[in-house]
Amino acid sequence: MHSLFSGLITSKTRIKILMRLFLNPQGQAYLRELAEDFQISPSQVKEELDQLRNAKLLVSKKNGRQVIFSANQQHPVFNELHSMVKKALGMDEILESIIMRLGNLRQAILIDDYAEGKDTGIIDLVLIGDIDTTNLLDLSLKTEKYIGRKIRTLVLSEDEYHARPEILKNRPRFVLWRQEAV
């Protein structure tokens, strides 16, 4: 599983919930959605959600008859948990490698499953800037071996990114890194 958490937290379901909701702090999930994704009973998921909510790590709100859960960004350990989740999923390794070695990266955007916090094994990244694609392939292959996940990238120049906003329209996304304006 996620070795960083498995010694610290004994419930695999709790680990999955934390991974799902703390990777992308804007992410939200319903009980039944989590039960389906994790392929376990809703009662097992509910028990873990209740414990995490009681510990104030999660917040919830009603939406009609359903309850939506999300990470409590005001919790004192939020930043540490968010950082641990990124580390456990290899995001820190990917970012450090990309930023250091690929030219003039302006933004790195996580899209689709991982942007929702779903650890499906395929990480989809949109890289915006003037990227060295030969180095990117080599770097992706090395990083994939290290983190045990497949990395798919879409490289766009800034002009392409601004000219084609539909590429990311209606897709879950999370900005992993953005170059600060100078």
Q: Is there a shared CATH topology between the 3-82 domain and the 90-178 domain?
A: no
The domain defined by 90-178 folds into Beta Polymerase; domain 2 (3.30.460)
Question: At what angle are helices 12-23 and 42-54 packed, to 10 degrees?
Answer: 60
The pTM score is 0.67
CATH 1.10.10.10 fits 3-82, yes or no: yes
Domain boundaries, the chain: 3-82, 90-178
Tell me the pLDDT of the chain (182 aa) as tens digits: 444 444 445 578 888 888 889 888 888 999 999 999 888 999 999 999 999 999 999 999 999 999 999 999 999 999 888 888 888 777 777 777 777 778 888 999 999 998 888 888 899 999 999 998 888 888 888 888 878 889 999 999 999 999 998 988 999 988 888 887 65
Q: Terminus-to-terminus CA distance in the chain, angstroms? A: 41
